[in-house]
C-alpha cells in the first residue's frame, strides 16, 4: 500500500517494487550499482549500513535468493517503508530490519556477524552542502551527520575476518575513502563509473576484504550511457536485467 507523500516505483525493469517518499532523497541508480557489486551466495549473511527504504537490499535479495540480509538505519520512516517494500516483493523472510545509528558505533550483536557489509553512505560533508532550507531538505539524506571514518569503522566492525566490504561514493572523495578504508581492509578494488565514455568518473565503487593485505587494484570500470543517452549494454545488464557487476 502506498501512503500519502509516497510514490510507487520499480527497479530492475519492474522486478523490484519500491515505495519511497515523493520529495527529498530518492533511490537512484547508485543503489542498484551497489547491489550489483556485492559478491555473496545463498546462505551468506550481508548487512546494508544506512539502508534507507531498501533500494540496494531489495535488488540484492532479487539477485541472490537465499542470501540472509539485514538493513540498519536510524530513520524510522525509512525502516517502515523497507518493511513494506520487503513484504511487497516477497522478501520479508529474507530481509531483517533494525534501528541503528552509525554515530553510536557498532552494536555488540552486529560485530563480526556478517560475511559482507555494503553501503551507499551520505556523499556530502556538512561543510560542502547547500544549507539553504529547500536544498537542505532535499539533500538531507546525502549530508554527513557523522564522518566517513566512523561510517567505515561501523562497516568494518560488522564484517568477519576476510569478509567483504563494498561501497559506492563520489569520485572526488576517492582519496578519503581509500585512506580510511585501508585502516581496516586490503585487497581494495576501485571500479570507476563514468557517465559517458571520455568523461570524468562521477562515482566509484570500492570493494575490499577485512584483514587482507593484497595490493589495491584499479579495475576497468563501467560506462553508464552511450552518446545518445541510452544505457550502455553493460549498464543495461545491471540496471534492467539484474546482472552482477562484471569484475575480472
Reported confidence tier of residue 135, pLDDT bands at 50, 70, 90: very low
d(CA 158, CA 92): 22
In a domain, 244, yes or no: no
Q: Can you give the residue range of the structural domain that contains 52? A: 6-182
In a domain, 195, yes or no: no
What's the pLDDT at 144?
77
- The whole-model pTM stands at 0.93
CATH number at residue 95: 3.40.50.150
Task: Tell me the C-alpha to C-alpha distance, in Å, between residue 202 and each of 162, 171, 186, 194.
Answer: 29, 5, 23, 6
Reported confidence tier of residue 205, pLDDT bands at 50, 70, 90: very high
What's the pLDDT at 138?
46
The string of pLDDT tens digits covering residues 155-179 is 999 999 999 999 999 999 999 999 9
In a domain, 221, yes or no: no
d(CA 54, CA 226): 28
In a domain, 107, yes or no: yes
How many domains in the chain?
1
In a domain, 205, yes or no: no
Amino acid at each position: 500500500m502506498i501512503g500519502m507523500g509516497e510514490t510507487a516505483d520499480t527497479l530492475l525493469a519492474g522486478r523490484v517494487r519500491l515505495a519511497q517518499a515523493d520529495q527529498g532523497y530518492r533511490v537512484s541508480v547508485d543503489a542498484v550499482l551497489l547491489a550489483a557489486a556485492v559478491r555473496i551466495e545463498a546462505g551468506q549473511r550481508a548487512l546494508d549500513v544506512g539502508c534507507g527504504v531498501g533500494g540496494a537490499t531489495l535488488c540484492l535479495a532479487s539477485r541472490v535468493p537465499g542470501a540472509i540480509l539485514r538493513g540498519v538505519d536510524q530513520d524510522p520512516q525509512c525502516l517502515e517503508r523497507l518493511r513494506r517494500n520487503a513484504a511487497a516483493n516477497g522478501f520479508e523472510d529474507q530481509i531483517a530490519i533494525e534501528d541503528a545509528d552509525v554515530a553510536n558505533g557498532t552494536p555488540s550483536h552486529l560485530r563480526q556477524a556478517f560475511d559482507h557489509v555494503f553501503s551507499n553512505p551520505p556523499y556530502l560533508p556538512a561543510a560542502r552542502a547547500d544549507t539553504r532550507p529547500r536544498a537542505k531538505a532535499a539533500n538531507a539524506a546525502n549530508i554527513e551527520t557523522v564522518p566517513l571514518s566512523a561510517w567505515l569503522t561501523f562497516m568494518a566492525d560488522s564484517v568477519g575476518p576476510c569478509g567483504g566490504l563494498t561501497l559506492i561514493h563520489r569520485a572526488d572523495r576517492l582519496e578519503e575513502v581509500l585512506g580510511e578504508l585501508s585502516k581496516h581492509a586490503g585487497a581494495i578494488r576501485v571500479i570507476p563509473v563514468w557517465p559517458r565514455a571520455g568523461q570524468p568518473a562521477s562515482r566509484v565503487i570500492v570493494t575490499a576484504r577485512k584483514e587482507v593485505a593484497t595490493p589495491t587494484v584499479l579495475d576497468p570500470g563501467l560506462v553508464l550511457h552511450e552518446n545518445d543517452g541510452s544505457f550502455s549494454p553493460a549498464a543495461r545488464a545491471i540496471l534492467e536485467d539484474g546482472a552482477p557487476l562484471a569484475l575480472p
